[in-house]
Amino acid sequence: MKISDRYPIVVTDHKVACRDFWQRHFGLDVLFDSDWFVLLGNEQQGSVVAFMSPDHPSAPPGPECFGGQGVCLEIEVDDIVQTHQHFTRGGGPVAYPLTRESFGQHRFGLRDPSGLWVDVVEQIAPQDGYWDRYMQTVG
């Protein structure tokens, strides 16, 4: 099997607000937009995320409106300080402050208009020995 694309679809009553938020704060392009569905991404990364209104007849069975729990979208960046500055200067709502984590990430977090938790991270070296307690030897 060859996967030609991949992206989460968040079912929300806030499709337009989500589209505008991701364009403004993350610079994503609109790859497809209609009154009930929007797909966002860019040429380098392809599709990143989509938002769908809950009341369209073509919606697949099962996806209820997203309630804001149980999903985290990870966005990895090369320069977290620059990304954080850009995000906050643009009025982006930070819910978890810029933090250097001992497990090897420098990150901040936020919720988009649908309630989706977004973890924006730069990978850094973990604190010496941090992962030792989690490693298992096989054999």
Q: Is residue 54 part of a domain?
A: yes
Q: Give the integer Cα–Cα distance in Å for 67 and 51.
A: 13
Alpha carbons within 13 A on the beta-carbon side of 128:
0
Does the residue 133 lie in any domain? no
pLDDT tens, 57-107? 777 777 688 888 889 999 999 999 999 999 999 999 999 999 999 999 999
Question: What is the span of the domain harbouring residue 107?
Answer: 9-127
Structural domain total, the chain: 1
pTM for this predicted structure: 0.86
pLDDT tens digits along 13-64: 999 999 999 999 999 999 999 999 999 999 888 889 999 998 877 777 776 8
Calpha distance 25→73 (Å, rounded): 15
Instruction: With respect to residue 24, please indicate whether it lies within any of the assigned structural domains.
Output: yes
Q: Specify if 13 maps to a domain.
A: yes
CA 30 – CA 91 distance, rounded (Å): 21
Quick check: 25 and 81 in contact, CB under 8 A?
Answer: no
